[in-house]
């Protein structure tokens, strides 16, 4: 059976545009047929988004949300990657830490909101802490699994070439585990973007999450609510596409450069 042909270049853009147009058409006519006075039409959402832009608040909210995600996700990467690599490299240490991690990992970051407010008060620190929690555990688990799944023959080959344990981890194990680690980082970034919206509804007074709850409470502006929701989805898509491109570039080129 022959492999499926890859889509042509124009199809990569044409069909998503067709799907978007169909979605907008279904949305518009659903609002018309239901005669709803609450849920806005695409035109009303567009008008609300223009209003936000003219009020010079939209870009500030977007920047605040991205800044919190960058800090929380960055801290999770800086702490989670070394810890995950260490636990994957030393299975005995992983057996000691694993029970506590498996208890904490399923707890939703949203459940930590009261604790975050007690520890950090209402503000950026609480939101960043929640983002950190949401991203930390997927990163650690991805690093542990990535190191554990490296074939043992790689380790034996590295030892035969006289590599020290540190050199073996840096030049052989880490490059081999890098594709799986990058997948974990991508998942963690998506979770961080989800968590920031919920955290901003409670812990701060800016950002896209705050924009949603404030628009709902201030005159029930559901056009602004849906506009903020669409922006969250669009930015999330852009972040995911950017990370996927980085993943394709770095997983092979950077990893095997260090392995050589």
pLDDT reported for residue 7: 65
pLDDT reported for residue 253: 54
> For the chain, what percentages of helix, strand and coil (3-state, to nearest 5) are there?
85, 0, 15
What is the CATH classification number for the domain harbouring 132? 1.10.3720.10
pLDDT reported for residue 188: 94
Q: How far, in Å, CA of 84 to CA of 69, rounded?
A: 21
Q: Which helix (H) or strand (E) holds 83?
A: helix 58-89
If you average pLDDT over every residue of the chain, what do you get? 84
Q: How far, in Å, CA of 221 to CA of 226, rounded?
A: 9
CA dihedral 64, 136, 129, 60 (to 10 degrees): 0
Q: How many domains does the chain have?
A: 1
Whether the predicted pLDDT of 186 surpasses 80: yes
pLDDT reported for residue 5: 56
Q: Residue 16 falls within a domain, yes or no?
A: no
**pLDDT by residue (tens digit) across 236-260?**
999 988 888 877 765 545 444 554 5
Instruction: Please state the pTM of the whole predicted model.
Output: 0.84
Whether the predicted pLDDT of 232 surpasses 60: yes
Which residue would you say has higher pLDDT here, 176 or 1? 176
**pLDDT by residue (tens digit) across 131-148?**
999 999 999 999 999 888
Query: Which tokens is 217 given?
Result: 């409470």
Whether the predicted pLDDT of 52 surpasses 70: yes
Range of the domain at 138: 42-259
The per-residue b/e assignment along 173-208, b for 16 or more CB within 10 angstroms, e otherwise, is: bbbbbbebbbbbbbbbbbbbbbbbbbbbbbbbebbb
Q: Residue 15 falls within a domain, yes or no?
A: no
């Amino acid at each position: 059976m022959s492999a499926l042909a890859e889509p042509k270049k124009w199809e990569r853009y044409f069909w998503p545009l067709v799907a978007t147009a169909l979605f907008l058409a279904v949305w518009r006519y659903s609002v018309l047929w239901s005669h709803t006075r609450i849920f806005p039409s695409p035109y009303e959402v567009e008008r609300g988004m223009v209003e936000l832009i003219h009020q010079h608040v939209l870009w500030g909210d977007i920047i605040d949300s991205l800044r919190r995600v960058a800090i929380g996700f960055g801290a999770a990467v800086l702490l989670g990657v070394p810890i995950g690599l260490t636990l994957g490299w030393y299975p005995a240490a992983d057996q000691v830490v694993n029970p506590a991690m498996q208890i904490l990992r399923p707890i939703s970051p949203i459940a930590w909101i009261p604790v975050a407010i007690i520890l950090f008060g209402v503000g950026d620190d609480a939101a960043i802490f929640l983002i950190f929690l949401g991203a930390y555990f997927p990163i650690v688990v991805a690093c542990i699994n990535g190191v554990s799944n490296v074939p043992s023959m790689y380790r034996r080959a590295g030892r035969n070439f006289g590599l020290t344990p540190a050199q073996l981890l840096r030049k052989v194990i880490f490059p081999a585990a890098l594709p799986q680690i990058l997948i974990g980082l991508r998942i963690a970034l998506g979770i961080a973007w989800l968590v920031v919206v919920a955290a901003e509804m409670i812990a701060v007074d800016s950002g896209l999450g705050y924009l949603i709850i404030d628009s709902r409470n201030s005159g029930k502006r559901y056009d602004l609510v849906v506009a903020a929701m669409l922006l969250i989805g669009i930015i999330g898509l852009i972040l995911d596409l950017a990370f996927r491109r980085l993943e394709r570039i770095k997983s092979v080129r950077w990893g095997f450069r260090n392995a050589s």
